[in-house]
Amino acid sequence: MAESQIYWYDGALREGELSLPVNAPGLLFGATVFTTLRVYAGSLEHPLTQWDRHCDRITQSLIAFNWPQPNWSRIYMGCEALKSSYPVLRITVFPNGKALMTGRHLPSNLAKEQAEGVTLWLSDTPLHSRSQPQHKTGNYLGCYLAMQQAKRYQARDAILTNANGDWLETSTGSLWGYKDGQWWTPPLPAGILPGILRTGLIEQLIESGQTVVQRPWTPNLPTQFTALAYTNCVVECLPVHTVLLGKTKLKYDQSPQKGEILRGLLATAACNPEMS
């Protein structure tokens, strides 16, 4: 028998199915705002959990959409109730201010992917573009379609592109390239999500004296990188060894030296006590 899912909705811990009105905007239009966080050391206050930044992400989107703020003390209470069962929590806020918190486990093969790297598939269709890319909303159909297509190619994730063919981000994370002693990442004006881990890493790399180049990733630029990775708050940093472009494969160096560089990308942020 499958494990029953526990969750927190509208101020109470629940189990099993959730009932919503058939005309709820979240169902009809994907009208929700959400964030997904990883709880470190079982604490919402751990610096790498970045609780404040996740809450601020939702707050700023709600302000932009002119939606009411939820009861943040109840949201904290709900996440406290779920964190002992799940290391990954998703906070979803509806247009009426009600909030749903759900949990899930880390990918079972995450350590292997972090050590050996993954394959990504490059999408070249506008079907996979994200709606309101500067906000994390429930309208994720483009990303969902991209991920399903990537799985058909046995890839870990899909790389989204714009009308010019510029690389933007993956369906679940931020892209990073390495060349000439510098880290590169697509700029926000290109139409990407301001990833929480992306923001923290940029701040810390600059503070440590390193250069982060934020320029559009035109189709030729990724072929010049010696290393490639993508990041999000759940998987942290995944090195990429292969990108599938139709019948072509881009290969990236996964030597021990490059692996240390990629691991250092996250370690820089982990050493910063102000990331919370």
- Contact between residue 197 and residue 221 where contact means Cβ atoms under 8 Å apart: no
Residue 127 backbone class (left: φ over 0; alpha: ψ -120 to 50; beta: rest): alpha
Tens digit of pLDDT for each residue in 216-233? 999 999 999 999 999 999
- Contact between residue 228 and residue 201 where contact means Cβ atoms under 8 Å apart: no
**What is the reported pLDDT for 200?**
86
pLDDT band at 208 (very low <50, low <70, confident <90, very high): confident
- Contact between residue 74 and residue 99 where contact means Cβ atoms under 8 Å apart: yes
How far out from the chain centre does Cα 13 lie? 26
Token readout for 69 is 């703020």
Those residues with Cβ within 8 angstroms of residue 63's Cβ, 6 or more apart along the chain or in another chain: none
pLDDT band at 121 (very low <50, low <70, confident <90, very high): very high
Tens digit of pLDDT for each residue in 110-120? 999 988 899 99
pLDDT band at 264 (very low <50, low <70, confident <90, very high): low
Token readout for 97 is 């201010």
Tens digit of pLDDT for each residue in 230-252? 999 999 989 999 999 988 999 99
Task: Please give the Cα distance from 103 to 85 (Å, whole number).
Answer: 8
Q: Give the residue carrying structure tokens 């069962």.
A: 85
Q: Give the residue carrying structure tokens 């003390």.
A: 73
Burial (CB count <10 Å: 0-12, 13-18, 19+), residue 73: exposed
Residue 212 backbone class (left: φ over 0; alpha: ψ -120 to 50; beta: rest): beta
What are the φ and ψ backbone dihedral angles of 9, each rounded to 5 degrees? Answer: -140, 130
Tens digit of pLDDT for each residue in 47-69? 889 999 999 999 999 999 999 99
